[in-house]
Amino acid sequence: MDLNNKIEKIGIVFAMKGEALATIHHFNLERINGNYPVELYGNAENKIVVSLNGTCSFTGVDNVGTQAATLNTYVLINEVNPDIVINAGTAGGFAHSGAKIGDVYIGTNRVVYHDRRIPLPKFDEYGIGNYGLINTDYLAKQIGIKQGIISTGNSLDYVDRDLQLMKMSNASLKDMEAASVAWVCQLLNKAFIPIKSVTDMVDGGIPTEVEFKANFNLATKNLNLKLIQLIDFIYQKTMEEIVSPEK
C-alpha cells in the first residue's frame, strides 16, 4: 500500500439494502454488475461503489452474517479494485462503554470475533482474529464520530461466553460482518475502515430484535450522514493525509 497515492476509488460493503439506500441515492449510484448474490452500485468510472450482500433466494431476506460479507468483499475487490474498503452498517452497542442508540462509531485498533471458540493452541488466537485497520484517530476528529473496537459474530443475540469474549476484547460494538470484511482486506492488502451505527444496547436488558426494529431507521439515517461525510473527506486525499496528517 503506497501511502502517497490518492484515494480515487472507494468501495463500501453493506449487508442490508435498507442500510445502504440513502448513500446509493445521495451519490446517484446505479446497479452495474455483481457475481453470485452480490449487488454492485456505481457512478461514472465507478469512483464510488456500494456493494451489497444481496438477498437469499429461498427466503428473500438480506444475506447477513460473515459468510455473505466475505463473499461480498471478495467480489467487490476482484471486480472494482478500490483503493480503500469501508464496511458500513448497524450494530449493537455497550452502555458501559458510553454507547447510545443512534451513535455512529468508526472502528479503531482492531476487529475481532466473539463466536469462533476453538480452545486449541494457536487456533484460539486464530478464532478471535485481531484483524487490523488503518489509524482512524484523525478521521474521527474530522467528522465528529466516536471510536471503538468492533466484535463480530453470526447471531443477532449472544450467549454468555460471547459476552465474556467481547468484554475481554474491550469491544464497544457487536456486529455480524466487520471481522470477515477485515479478513478479506488483509488477505488482499486493501486499506480498511469500519463505520457502524447503534440500533440496540447489548447490555441494556431489552431483547435485541425489539430494539433493532424500533431504532433501525434512526440508526441508518445517522450512519449514512456520517458515511457521506467520511467519503467526501477521504476522496482525493492520500492515505498519509488521513492517517498521519501532521507529517
The closest of 180, 46, 54, 26 to 113, measured between CA atoms, is 180
160: annotated active-site residue: no
Count the neighbouring beta carbons within 10 Å of the beta carbon of residue 66: 22
Max CA distance (Å), the chain? 52
Annotated catalytic residue: which of 62, 103, 162, 200? 200
Asked if residue 99 lies in contact with residue 93, where contact means CB atoms within 8 angstroms, the answer is yes
Euclidean distance between CA atoms 123 and 120, whole angstroms:
5
In whole angstroms, what is the distance from residue 247 CA to residue 241 CA? 8
- CA 27, CA 95: separation in Å to the nearest integer? 34
d(CA 104, CA 91): 9
Cross-strand partners of 48: 10
* 103: annotated active-site residue: no
199: nearest Cα among 71, 60, 103: 103
Candidate list 2, 19, 62, 241, residue with the active-site label: 19
Which residues fall within 8 angstroms of residue 217, CB to CB, at 6 or more apart? none
**Which residues are catalytically annotated?**
19, 200
